[in-house]
């Protein structure tokens, strides 16, 4: 037997040749004939899946890996580890997201590890696409351009106003309820969830508070007025006096007709056009 200076031993008394000490050779052997891929980070058991182990590479990269696909684990400096994962294994990746009333807590997707050292591809990717932003549009000469989406005129809202909600429900105060129903049926789908201006809805998802509609009016407006003037077109109107909730109504100033549950001439008037 040669001295330790001439041979390396594997701990079992059998000498390891220089070929066997080569890192690429060790990678090939550690997966029982299948290529493996190293992942480094902080690791712990996945409390949501006993068969999985979590690996945190960064706040943006958190993986849940099936323990059956982990061929080896190495302790690095501090609490960091290196996991050797079988190439082509499928795992879960947790993506951070901003929490709001309409978003999921996390977007969990399956992912394929990088291409293995031998060039073999990873597993097919399947993702929950509704939670993942798409790539930006790329324009090249001759490609189609984005269509301009026309905003329905307020006159179409007036044509569809019928003093009721499509869902058939009703409240003591229906000014916003019935008017928002007409807006939505006229094509203003932006009033459907999610909409940051709307805090309360009926079972059919129609906004039901005048102040919510007022907030939306102000965000859309390109022209405003505090007085009613004839022959100035159609206006979305918010009226308020002693009743804190206020009132919304649609005005056709060319014909001096209004569409809604009431018209309050003695209230403060806030008119909006777009």
Q: How far is CA 53 from CA 37, 43, 262, 264, in A?
A: 16, 7, 62, 65
Angle between helices 175-185 and 210-220 (to 10 degrees): 40
The two structure tokens encoding residue 72: 């080896």
For the chain (274 residues), the mean pLDDT of every run of 10, in chain order, is 36 45 48 76 87 87 90 89 89 71 50 56 54 72 81 96 96 97 97 96 96 97 97 98 95 98 97 98
Instruction: Specify the pLDDT at position 166.
Output: 95
3-state secondary structure of 27: helix
Instruction: Specify the pLDDT at position 60.
Output: 77
Instruction: Specify the pLDDT at position 57.
Output: 86
Instruction: Specify the pLDDT at position 116.
Output: 55
How far does the chain reach from its first CA to its final CA, in angstroms?
91
Instruction: Specify the pLDDT at position 61.
Output: 81
Instruction: Specify the pLDDT at position 114.
Output: 53
Q: What is the pTM of this model?
A: 0.50
Looking only at the bridges linking them, the beta strands covering 91-95 and 107-111 are: antiparallel
Instruction: Specify the pLDDT at position 87.
Output: 87
Helix (H) / strand (E) element for 30: namely helix 23-30
Instruction: Specify the pLDDT at position 7.
Output: 36
Instruction: Specify the pLDDT at position 110.
Output: 52
3-state secondary structure of 190: helix
Classify burial at 153, counting beta carbons within 10 Å of its beta carbon; exposed 0-12, middle 13-18, buried 19 or more. Answer: middle
- Measured CA to CA, the distance from residue 196 to residue 78 in angstroms comes to 45
Point out which residues pair with 75 in neighbouring strands: 81
């Amino acid at each position: 037997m040669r001295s330790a200076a001439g041979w390396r031993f594997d701990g079992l008394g059998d000498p390891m040749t220089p070929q066997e000490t080569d890192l690429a050779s060790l990678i090939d052997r550690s997966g029982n004939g299948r290529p493996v891929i190293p992942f480094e980070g902080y690791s712990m058991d996945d409390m949501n899946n006993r068969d999985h182990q979590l690996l945190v590479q960064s706040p943006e990269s958190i993986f849940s890996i099936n323990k059956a696909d982990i061929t080896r684990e190495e302790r690095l400096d501090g609490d960091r580890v290196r996991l050797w994962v079988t190439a082509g294994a499928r795992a879960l990746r947790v993506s951070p997201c901003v929490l709001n009333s309409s978003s999921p807590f996390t977007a969990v997707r399956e992912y394929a590890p990088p291409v293995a050292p031998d060039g073999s591809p990873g597993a097919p990717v399947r993702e929950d696409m509704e939670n993942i932003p798409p790539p930006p549009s790329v324009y090249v000469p001759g490609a189609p351009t984005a269509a301009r989406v026309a905003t329905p005129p307020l006159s179409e809202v007036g044509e569809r106003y019928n003093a009721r909600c499509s869902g058939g429900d009703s409240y003591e105060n229906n000014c916003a309820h019935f008017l928002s129903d007409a807006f939505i049926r006229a094509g203003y789908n932006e009033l459907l969830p999610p909409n940051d201006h709307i805090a309360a809805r009926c079972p059919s998802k129609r906004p039901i508070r005048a102040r919510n509609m007022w907030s939306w009016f102000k965000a859309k407006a390109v022209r405003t007025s505090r007085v009613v003037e004839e022959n100035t077109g159609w206006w979305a109107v918010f009226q308020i006096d002693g009743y804190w909730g206020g009132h919304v109504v649609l005005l056709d100033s060319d014909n001096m007709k209004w569409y809604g549950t009431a018209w309050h001439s003695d209230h403060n008037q806030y008119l909006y056009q777009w």
